[in-house]
Structure 1
Amino acid sequence: MKLNRIILAAGLLPISAGTAAAIDLTVVSWGGAYSHSQEMAYHKPYMAANPDVKIINDESAAEAVAKLRAMKEAGNITWDLIDVEAADGIRMCDEGLVKKIDFDKELAAAPDGTLARADFGDTVVADCFVPEIAFSTTVGYRTDKLPAGAEPPTGACDLFDLEKYPGRRALNKHPIVNLEWALLCDGVPYEEVYSTLATQEGQARAFAKLDTIKKDTLWWSSGAEAIQLLADGEVFMGSAYNGRLFSAIAEQNQPLGIAWDHQVLELDGWVVPAGLPAEREKAVMDYLFFATDSQRLADQAKYIPYAPARVSSIPLVGNHAELDVEMAPHMPTNPANGAHKYVNNYVWWADHRDDLDAKFQVWLSK
C-alpha cells in the first residue's frame, strides 16, 4: 500500500443539508486526543450546521467487533457510526455486520471533481470501510529517565534490549504490532513476517521473543492508558500511537520522546452498522458525507498528526489549530520519521485476528 501519498490533508466542500427531524447519533471512537480531533474537525461543525442533530460520543472502539456481533445477535443495534482499524473493518464487512458504501454516490468528490473512490485511492481496502486517517504505533520513552551514558532509543527493537534500557515497558494488550515487532526484532525480514506468522513455528518464535520482556511489561488497553503509564513514570518506554505522543509532548509538555524506527503504519476509518432504521441511516450518511470530505479530513490534522486518507486533503493541512507548530514533520508518513516503516497487512489480520487474539490471551495468562 502506497501510504506515502497521504502524508497530509484538506479540501473545501459545502456542508450538507440538515436532517429533517431531531435525532441523536451515537458515534463510536477511541477517546482522548483522537476523539477530541474528531469533535473539533467533524462533530462541532456538523452540529452547528445541523442543530437538530446531537452527536453522542462512545469510546468503545477497541471492543467494536465483539460488541457489534452481540448487538446483531440480540437484534438491537444502538450504535450509528463506528471508527475502527482497517482489519476490523474488513472483518465486519465479511461478516455482514456493516453496510457497503457506494463511494462515488454517497461520499463527496474532491474539490477538483475527482470522485471519492479515486481520491481515497489505495486506502480503500473494503467496500464497507471509509478511510479516515493513517496513523502509526510507535515507541515513546521518558527523556528524563535515560540510563546514564545511554543514547535515546531509536525504535521498537530497543524494547527488547533490557541490558541497555532496563526498567518496565508498556505494550498493547492485543497481538497486532506486538507479534510483528517480535519477529522483525528477532531477525525476520520484512517481506517474510506474515508468511512466518502464519505458521505454528513462526507464532512460537514471536511469543518466545516476547517472553524475553514479558515480566517487565505492563499491558495497556487504550491509547490514553499508554500515555498515562509513561506520564506517571510507571514505565520507561512503551508502544503508543504517534498522535497521542504528539499531544503529550507538544500540548502537555510531558518529558517524552518518540522512537520512530519500525513504526507500524495502519489505517483507521468509518463503518456503518447494517440494518439501521431508514431515518437513522439517512442521518448517518449525511454526517459521513460531511466528515469525510477533503477539508474535514484536513481539519482533523490540525489537532492530531494523523495523515488524512484523501489525496486532495494533502495540500490543505497546515499548522496546529492552537499551537504554532507545522504538522507535516510530525506525520507518521513523513519520510524523516524512522528508517523502517512497516505497513500493517489488514487483509491478513482480518483472516487471522480471532485465532491470534485467543492465543495471545492464553499466552498473557501464563
Structure 2
Amino acid sequence: MTQVQPSRINNTAFLLFGILLIAISLRSPITGVGPLLDLIRDQLNLSATQAGMLTTLPLLAFAIFSPVASKLARKHGLEHALMTSLILVLTGITMRSLGSTTTLFIGTVTIGAGIAIANVLLPSLMKRDFPNKVTTITSIYVLMMGVGSALSASLAIPMTHLADTLAISFIPNWAFALGGIVIFPIIAILVWLPQMRNHTPPTADITELDSHSYLWRSAQAWQITLFLAFNSFLMYIFISWLPTILVDKGYSHEQAGVIHGLLQLFTAVPAIVLIPLMSRIQDKRLLSLSLTLLAFIGITGLIIAPSLAILWAMLFGFGAGGGFIVALALISLRTSDAHQAATLSGMAQFLGYLLAATGPIMMGAIHEQMQSWTLPLIICALSNVLWSIFALLASKSDIILPPKKSFHSKSDNFLST
C-alpha cells in the first residue's frame, strides 16, 4: 500500500489555503463600494452614471484582461500569474484609497485587471491540482468570496465612522473605508509566496500554443458563457446599486449597508449547501432553475414589498451565489483538460463581464432619467428570465466538451439540445 508523504499533504493543504485567501480578495474590493457611493458622489461631485462606472470599470477590466490570463499562465506558470494578480489587486486598492477622482478610477481599473487574471486561472488550477474534488473546492472557494464580500459591504459605513472618530484627515473617510480591505491581498501574497519557491512548470495542456478557438463555435460553450453572463449582469447591478435603492426606499445608510452585506453573505450560503450535493447531482437542470427562480422572487419582491428587503436580499443572494457556483463548476466539469478549462473560463468571463459591465451604468442612467428604481428592477426581472433559459440549456447534461481533434462544428449548433 502506497503511503502519502506528510510533506505532500502539507503542500496540498497550504496550496488550498492560498487558493481560499485569493478568493477572499476577488470580490471584496468591489462590494465595499456600493454602501459608500453616496459619500463618494457628494465629495467628488460624481453623476449617477460616473458612480456606476466604479462598478463597471472592474467588469470592463475583467473582459479586457480575461483573454490575457491564459497566455500569462502559459508563459510564466499558474503560480506566477496568480501572484501577479494579487500584486495588481494590492496596488489598485492602495491607489484607489488616495482620495482623488483620478486615483479612484485608475485604482479601480487596476483592481479589475488583477481580479480578471485570478478569475480565469483559478478554475484551471483547481482542474489541474484537484481533479477529483472540483465541485467541492469550487463551493468552498465561492464561500470564501462571499465571506469577504459580506465583510467588505457590512463594514464600509462603520469604517467611515472610525475614520471620523480617529480624526483622519489626510484622506476622505470613504477612502479610508475602501483601503481597509488591503489586509486581504497582503495576507494572500504572504501565504502564496511558498508556491513561488516551489514553482513547477504548468502541465503540457496549459503550455501548448493551441488557443482552443473552436470553443467559440460550440453550443455548450456558448450556453455556459451566457449562463455566467446573465448571472454576472444581475449580480453586479445589485452590488453597485442595492444600497442606493434601499436608501431611496426609506432605509438609513447603515441599514442599507447591513442588508447589502447580508446579500453578499447569502451568496456564500449556497456553497455550504452545495458542497455535499453538487457531485451527486448528475442532471443539474432542476438545481439551476431553482436558483434562478429564487433570484427572480427576490427582484420582484423588492418591487412589490420593499419593506421586506432583508428577505428579498437573502433570496436574491442565495440564487445568484448558487448560480455562480454551478456556472464555475460547469466550466471544469464540461471540459476535458486544464487548458480547455482555462480557455472556456476566459471566453465565459470575457463575454460575461462585458455584458455585466453595461448593467450598473444602464441602471444608473435609467434611474437618473426616471427618478425611480421600478423600471430598472423590472428590466432585471426580465433579464432573470433569460438567465433561467440559459441555465437550463447549460445544465442539461454531463457531456464533456470534446478536444479540438474530435470537434465537429456541424454537430454542435448553438440551438442544439
User: RCO (CA 8 Å, sep 6+): is it higher in 1 or 2?
Assistant: 1
Give your verdict on TM over 0.5: no
Task: Give me the TM-score of the superposition, normalised by structure 2.
Answer: 0.24
